[in-house]
Structure 1
Amino acid sequence: MVEKLKAFYEKNFSNSPKAKYSVIAIACVIVVALAITSMRKTVTVSIDGKEEAFVTYKGTVKEALQDKGIQLSEKDKVQPSLEAGVKENQLIAVKRAVPISVEFAGKKVKLLSAEETVGDALLAESETLKQNGVDYNKELDEVSPKVDEPVAKDMDIKVVDVEVKNLKEKQSIPFETVTKKDSGLERGKTETKTEGKNGQKEVTYELVYKDGKVASKKEVSSKVVAKPVNALVSHGTKAPSVYIPNRGSNVEFKKHLVMESTAYSGDGITATGSVPVYNPGGISTIAVDPSVIPLGSLVYVEGYGYAKAADTGGVIKGNIIDVFLSSSAACSSWGRKYGVDVYIISYPGEW
């Protein structure tokens, strides 16, 4: 352009030195004008969604905003960045930071945030929160309102401090008692063949703490570190027996009673309609309380012998028997005995 201007002047004006200086001066003015024109840009600024267009000659976003008189706080967000160059018809978005408060484990921290969501605000201010004793963990902590809620002015955000810990406990494993029948052991008796011993297991629990208090406890694993040893107990099935002198051997019995004994004699008929007998080598007759020894039972009376419970008596009540003897003299000799062993050998219908 300068060359064209020079040619124009050479053709239309004199070639005097003065004319040449005029040409150069005019060219410089044109260059400056062109430079200024190239710096002029029209941009739009959007502040929290409210847009306004203006003309700027500044080179960076920061300078353009300052030129427009727009003041920014430390927490305001600007797009593109303040250091970015300004372009024609560019949109500069400014989001003003708003005051919010974060409550965490009884502590309340006031902040300024220009983040879009609650979660973004907590992450962006994590260092500030930590300096105030709030250690936010986005993976575990519970947040209200939810982390995807938009940030609003004067919003109160509550964060529940959630911690997960593992706890290992040793627990006893009770042993079991295994029983088996033993025909060599008297019925009603038991014998421990093997002593039982508890085992032990290690159980791992997951404990969830909320604001320092246990909110839940869940078993996550368990392993046996010592197996229990079961107890082995034998239960006798052999019928108990008593030694019968006149037989010279043991005889099994159903029940053993320790009773008081008196004696009676004379002729008559028993309660079961039989004649009472005394037969030292066989089976004699005794009177009983049927509620203790059923009538018709075969018994063995220590010092008396075998007998059939065939009679009753008005004074024969409870643990007392009345043995039949052959004479009044024998009855007097027998007298009243205490602690007499009586064995029920068979119940009615069994012999």
Structure 2
Amino acid sequence: MIDPVGKTAKTLRWFRILGAIISTWRPHRSLVAAFIMLCLLFLMSFSYVAKAREVTVIVDGRIHRVQTHHFSPYALLQELGLNLGPKDKVECYVGNPTGELVSLVITRALPVQIYADGMARTVYTGGDTVADALEEAGVLLKDKDVVLVDGQMARPDMPLIRRLLLTFDNWGILNPIKVLVRRAVPIIVVDEGVPITIYTTARTIGEALRSAGLVIYLGDKVTPEPDTPVVAGLKVYITRSKAAEITVDGRRIRTRTLGKTVAELLSQEKIVLFGRDYTIPPLDAKIYDGIKVKVIRVREEVVVEEEPIPFETVWKPDERLELDTQELVQAGEEGIYRRRYRVVYENGEEKERRLEDEWVAKEPITRVIAYGTKIVIRELETPEGTIKYWRRIRMLATSYSAATAGKPREHPLYGITRLGLWARKGIVAVDPRVINLGTKVYVPGYGIAIAADTGGRIKGRHIDLCYDEDNLVLWYKWVDVYLLAPPPPREKIIWLLPNWPREPRHHR
């Protein structure tokens, strides 16, 4: 609403200003007349503008505010230069209680370009959805038909979106919407001998099968080819491949095949068998869905193994050498025994080993050691006087008495030695393989004794010194034991002595 009282007050204010200017100005009369005319024109224009009303015009949702003297909406539309079509909508709103025009809401019909059944047509619709536009164009949708709006798949009930393109008159024009209708055509798909009919809008066979939810595996065969264009009544044949798994050369291959046998499956995957290679199941086995094939690589290898032949040791007496000395006459050397095997490997694992030949590649060489048999009588000064001995042996000396010999007192052999003598000082226990029983010996720190006893623990170079029960002295040390002259007959002499037990290095 425009306030007329406010406008009158403004006009009176301008007249007062004009009167003040005239009262203070003293120009020529002609100039005064011209000035008065200009003022009158200005006042008339101002009065015309002041009487204009503001009207809100909404065009396709865009708001414009304009000044007008018109009361008729159609006169206003002509003034604004808006040419409307028969399907455009105009809504007028007037003010109360004056009844003057306050606003206009204009909804222009939306241009829709429709492509269907090989024809193109343009309709102007006042509808809200794609289905409304198609109905106005006389295009009927059938089951499985597909609608594309501006290149995108759309449902028939999709709302139509208005998009304005700005123009110089500021009202703009509506951007046309492009609607494409793809008609579904029937094709017959024979899947492993079972025919089914599907309706599709796809352009190629591959797209049609995919849109119908038919899964085509890489190994399946489709006839015609998947990129063949779709036409109504086309027949498509699908030959299904079978899933297969191959284990070969440490790899596991999962694939699909149209082959009938294992051999054809391997040929498809370019797997070649060599020599004695074989498969499980065999090459002529029939293919079934989910079959698992194992390729066994067979390799033969000739292996030669060597085994040492130990050499023998021969001892030879030598009268040139003194007793208990030795001399290496000939060094021993191991021989070589060879065996040749043919070894069969399956997938790298040994499965068979067959002996083909064996022979002595090198004979062993016998080790020959000479030992001395020359006996030399020597003398030794002792606290008991000078003694003569024919052999000296390094031995571990321990001690015992009848009470520590291991037999209880009530035993009938308690205190009796191996030779039947009473156990006392002057008796020693020895290993008869080292010192013959009955031999007289001299032990430094103990004295002269006779080898008259043995013991379960007296082995090798071990001598056990006997004491009376009341004067036992504990021994455990290495000593030189002298065998007193004269020596026994040569056939009684033990020429080669055992070398155990061994004396620790720090005791020597």
Structure label with greater radius of gyration: 2
Give the structure-1-normalised TM-score.
0.38
Give the structure-2-normalised TM-score.
0.28
Q: Which has the higher contact order (CA 8 A, sep 6+)?
A: 1
